[in-house]
Structure 1
Amino acid sequence: MKVGVVQMKISNNIENNLLKIAKFLEEAKVEEVDLICFPEMALTGYNIQLLKSMDLNDVILPAVDKISQLAGKYSICCVIGHPFREREGLKNRASIIFPDGRHEKYDKLYPTELEKKIFSNGKGTLVFEYKHKRFGIAICRDQNFYDIFKEYKDKSCDGVFILAAHYYNPKEARWKIDKNRSIPITRAVENGYYVFLANATGAHLNMVSLGHSLIVDESGCIVCEANETEEVLLTAEI
């Protein structure tokens, strides 16, 4: 099974992001990728005006439907980050979109202090199966919580995806590179499964994310890693 993670620049313009996502899905098809993961909030970025809109889902649902159509066309399972409004509040969500049109969802369990002003907490973990493999999901700050990853181990996962958008002020972004590289490696070693980190890169909202998306095997070896600035599809056979 071939798994891919995308590192990409995210903008406030959903159409621009959607075009970029479509381009990477086409590339993944050429590379014969079975399962691909995009960064946290890859579809919309942190577009505050859109996030506060009560009509948010009217924008999100057609875009997710376009991605679903491409997933079906290319026979690729896709994990995509986006916001979604539920009755209990706004969620920072990862949607798992299967080629046959089925969807599953995971909502970020531990928003940052800044995010708590906008987003509400998710309610539980998610394990999904694809091509006889089992995978878990975490979003950004969720990586700090060991119990999430231990639960995925106990549920016999073959790997866990971490969708991230590590935006900080430039100085903080620089010294947090090592931290945000080491945690996925640690989680892989602790639990004996693959960890796939899909991070954003570039500037957004006067902050910057310095990439370093990576794929780590079950022994903690980095199989492949992006640099600080490139927009790229990383792949590995598992």
Structure 2
Amino acid sequence: MRCDAIPKGLEFFRGYLILNREMDRRNLIETIRILEWCSQNMATPIMLHYVLEIEDEDLFDTNRFVQRFKEKLYSFFRERNRIRNKEGKRKRKLPDLQLIYSVEMKNRLLFKSSDVFVPYLHLHLMVVIDTDHNRYHFDEINIQITRALSRINGLESLWFNPTTFTFLKEARSMRYGFLKMRNSKTSIKATSNFNELKWHDLKTELEDAICRASYLCKLDQKIDLPEKFNRGNSFGHTRPPRSKRLDPVNETKQNETERNAKRNGLKL
């Protein structure tokens, strides 16, 4: 086990429930910091999880991924806003967002009915976006995110049908593109109790969101990565401004104290 790793079997980290996997400590700390910041500083933040294949590892550049993705995503939002402006609809500012991504490798079945496994190099991406009190709706956000991912060199791409509002890959229809739905295996609440299967509301479901996002910090799918991604560049994120209310260390300690007190039925 790496000296900076969190061992498998540790149920809580900094007061949050995490998945039962060996994890990178620094990556998990950054993940918690980003999601806490979004919960406290965005108006109506939601977290969406995307998974897609890296089809050409030579073309995909993690060092420039965040910037290129944001450029393409905001370009699509600007395009949509120009159309809205011509229609006389209310003007909108571009939505604030934060990103966390992880490049991973595992084996998967060649076909569902096959018993042959093949390497699957893929990207997990958590997008936290401020819907600005629903001025940006889920369908629009999801469409633009999937379109932006489809324009990144080296990544799997889908074709968007604007008539049916669905994505296509060859003959296969994908209603929500690269979006990965929530499930009870990586959540605190039972599936039937979810407010929404497509995203986490970071104002009301922060603990559940951190549990889900801790999946990107696991180490077992880093072992067989190509050499290109074994240079500390298989995990990355945006950097939110520092909160003005508390410094990051005291903020985390205070939040952990409040969560532990709540879990033990105490009042602060």
TM-score by structure 2 length?
Answer: 0.26
- Based on CA coordinates, which of the two structures has the bigger radius of gyration? 2
* Greater percentage in strand: 1
Q: Greater relative contact order (Cα 8 A, min sep 6): structure 1 or 2?
A: 2
